[in-house]
C-alpha cells in the first residue's frame, strides 16, 4: 500500500510515466478501495489520456466516499462534460447546489454548461454573479476568457492585466501564467501573432513546471515562433525522456506548429499521428486536432480537414471557452469552399460571423472571415 502510493506519486510527479502511474494507482486502489486519494488520482490520470468513461467511474466513487466535499462534484462534472454527457453533468451540478457549495468553481462550471446548452437565461444569471465577484483573480480570468471567446481582445487584455495585478498581490504566479497563456492563444488564433509572442514570452518567464513550459512552447509555435518553441521542447524532452504526455503530445504539437509555419502540411500530419491515442484528453485538449485540420487545408485535402474541424466542434465540452472551437468553425467553412459545398460554407461562415458579432472590428480573423464570406454571395 505504501509502496504503491510512493510509486504512483513518483510516476505522476517525477518521471511523467502516466500508464505506470495508472498501474500503481490501480494497485493502491485494490488495497484500499474505500480510500479517496487513489480513486481521485486515478480519475485525473484517466482524464489526462482522454479515457473519460473510466474517469467518470473513478470520480463517481470519490463522490460516493466523500459527498460532503466539493471536489468530487467538480471532477465528476468535468469528466461527464468532456465526454459530452451534458444532462448527467447538469444533474451533478444540481446536487452540488443542493449542498450549498459556492465560489468560482461552481459558477464557472454553471456558466460553461449554460454555454454548451445555449441556455441564455443561465448565462445571464452567471454573468450577474461574475460581475458581482470581480475581486477574485480567477473570476476576472473567467471574464477575460468570455471576452476572448467574443473576439474582444482589447477588453480581454484589460481584464487579464487586472486579474494579474490581483493575483500577484496574492503571490499566485501559477494563475498569472495561465492567464497570459489563454490571452496569447487567442491572439495567435485571431491573427495577432506579434502580440501573442510578447504575451507568451511573459508567460514563459513565470512557468515553473514542465507542463506549463510545454504549454508555453505550444503557444509559441502557434504564434509562428516555431524555432524557439522547438528549442524549448527539445530541452524539456532531453531532461524528461520518459514523460509520456510530453513526448507523445507536447513535442509533436510543437513540431507540427513549426512545420505548418514552414508550409509543410504533410509532415505536420505525420508528426501529429502519435497524439491520436490522447486526443481530447485534459492534457491534449482541442489543439492537436485543430492543427491537423489546418495541415490538411494546407494540402488542400478539404474532406480530411473538414472531418478534423468537425471533430473539434463535436468535443467542445473538453474546453468550453477555448477560441479554438471558433476558429475550427471558420476552418470548416474554408474546407467546404474547397469541396464546392457552397450552401454549407455560407452557413458555417454565417455561424462564425455570428459568434464574433461583438468582436473588435479590426480583429484580423474577423476581417478575413467577412471577406471570404462576401466572395460566396
201 within a domain of the structure (yes/no): no
Whole-angstrom distance, CA of residue 94 vs CA of residue 90:
6
Percent pLDDT > 90 in the chain is 87
pLDDT tens digits, residue range 324-362? 999 999 999 999 999 999 999 999 999 999 999 999 999
Q: Contact, 81 vs 116, CB < 8 A?
A: yes
Virtual torsion, Cα 96, 100, 106, 109, nearest 10 deg: 40
**What pLDDT is stored for residue 338 in this prediction?**
97
- Does any domain span residue 328? no
**Cβ neighbours of residue 238 closer than 8 Å, sequence gap 6 or more:** none
Confidence tier at 208 by pLDDT (50, 70, 90):
confident
Query: Cβ(253)–Cβ(272) under 8 Å?
Result: yes
pLDDT digits (tens, 9 = 90+) for 138-197: 888 899 999 999 999 999 999 888 888 887 777 777 788 888 999 999 999 999 999 999
Report d(CA 205, CA 221) in Å as an integer: 16
Structural domain contains residue 56: yes
Enumerate the H helices of 190-319 as residue ranges: 193-206, 210-222, 226-239, 244-245, 251-261, 265-271, 287-298, 302-314
Give which of 305, 364, 350 is closest to 332, Cα–Cα. 305
Q: What is the CATH number of the domain that holds 97?
A: 1.25.40.10
Query: Does residue 70 belong to any structural domain of this protein?
Result: yes
- When pLDDT is cut at 50, 70 and 90, the band that residue 136 belongs to is confident
Is the model's pLDDT at 1 over the cut of 70? no
Q: In this structure, is residue 280 part of a structural domain? A: no
Asked if residue 180 lies in contact with residue 202, where contact means CB atoms within 8 angstroms, the answer is yes
Structure confidence by residue, pLDDT tens digits, 119-135: 999 999 999 999 998 88
| Listed residue (224, 279, 284) closest to 257, CA to CA | 224
Give the three-state DSSP class for 308.
Answer: helix
Establish if 71 belongs to a structural domain.
Answer: yes
Least confident span in 198-212, 287-301, 325-339: 198-212
Query: Does any domain span residue 52?
Result: yes
Q: What residues make up the domain containing 25?
A: 1-101
- Please give the full DSSP string across 128-194, using - where no structure is assigned: HHHHHTTTSHHHHHHHHHHHHHTT-HHHHHHHHHHHHHHHHHTT-HHHHHHHHHHHHHHHHHTT-HH
Report the Cα 83 to chain-centroid distance in Å. Answer: 14
pTM (2 decimals)?
A: 0.95
Among 216, 282, 277, CA closest to 48 = 282
Only one residue has cell 474532406, namely 303
pLDDT digits 0-9 by tens, 33-58: 999 999 999 999 999 999 999 999 99
**Cell 482589447, located at residue:** 154
Count of structural domains, the chain: 1
Q: Is residue 134 part of a domain?
A: no
Name the one residue in this structure whose C-alpha cell is 477588453. Answer: 155
- pLDDT at site 135: 82
Amino acid at each position: 500500500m505504501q509502496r504503491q502510493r510512493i510509486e504512483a506519486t513518483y510516476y505522476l510527479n517525477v518521471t511523467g510515466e502516466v500508464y505506470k502511474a495508472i498501474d500503481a494507482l490501480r494497485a493502491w486502489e485494490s488495497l484500499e478501495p474505500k480510500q479517496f486519494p487513489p480513486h481521485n488520482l486515478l480519475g485525473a490520470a484517466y482524464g489526462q489520456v482522454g479515457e473519460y468513461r473510466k474517469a467518470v467511474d473513478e470520480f463517481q466513487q470519490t463522490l460516493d466516499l466523500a459527498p460532503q466535499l466539493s471536489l468530487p462534484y467538480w471532477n465528476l462534472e468535468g469528466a461527464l462534460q468532456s465526454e459530452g454527457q451534458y444532462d448527467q453533468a447538469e444533474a451533478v451540478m444540481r446536487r452540488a447546489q443542493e449542498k450549498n457549495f459556492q465560489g468560482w468553481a461552481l459558477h464557472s462550471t454553471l456558466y460553461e454548461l449554460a454555454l454548451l446548452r445555449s441556455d441564455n437565461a443561465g448565462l445571464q444569471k452567471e454573468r450577474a454573479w461574475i460581475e458581482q465577484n470581480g475581486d477574485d483573480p480567477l473570476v476576472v480570468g473567467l471574464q477575460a476568457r468570455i471576452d476572448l471567446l467574443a473576439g474582444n481582445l482589447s477588453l480581454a487584455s484589460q481584464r487579464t492585466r487586472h486579474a494579474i495585478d490581483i493575483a500577484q498581490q496574492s503571490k499566485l504566479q501559477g494563475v498569472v501564467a495561465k492567464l497570459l497563456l489563454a490571452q496569447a492563444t487567442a491572439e495567435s488564433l485571431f491573427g495577432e501573432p506579434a502580440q501573442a509572442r510578447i504575451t507568451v514570452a511573459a508567460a514563459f518567464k513565470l512557468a515553473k513546471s514542465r507542463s506549463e513550459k510545454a504549454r508555453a512552447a505550444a503557444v509559441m509555435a502557434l504564434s509562428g515562433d516555431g524555432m524557439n518553441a522547438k528549442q524549448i521542447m527539445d530541452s524539456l524532452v532531453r531532461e524528461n525522456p520518459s514523460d509520456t504526455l510530453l513526448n507523445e503530445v507536447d513535442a509533436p504539437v510543437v513540431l507540427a506548429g513549426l512545420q505548418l509555419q514552414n508550409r509543410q502540411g504533410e509532415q505536420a500530419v505525420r508528426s501529429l499521428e502519435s497524439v491520436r491515442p490522447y486526443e481530447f484528453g485534459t492534457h491534449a485538449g482541442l489543439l492537436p486536432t485543430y492543427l491537423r485540420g489546418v495541415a490538411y487545408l494546407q494540402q488542400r485535402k478539404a474532406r480530411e480537414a473538414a472531418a478534423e474541424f468537425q471533430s473539434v466542434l463535436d468535443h467542445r465540452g473538453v474546453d468550453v471557452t477555448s477560441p479554438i472551437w471558433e476558429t475550427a468553425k471558420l476552418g470548416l467553412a474554408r474546407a467546404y469552399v474547397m469541396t464546392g459545398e457552397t450552401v454549407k460554407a455560407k452557413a458555417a461562415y454565417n455561424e462564425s460571423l455570428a459568434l464574433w458579432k461583438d468582436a473588435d472590428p479590426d480583429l484580423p480573423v474577423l476581417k478575413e472571415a467577412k471577406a471570404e464570406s462576401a466572395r460566396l454571395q
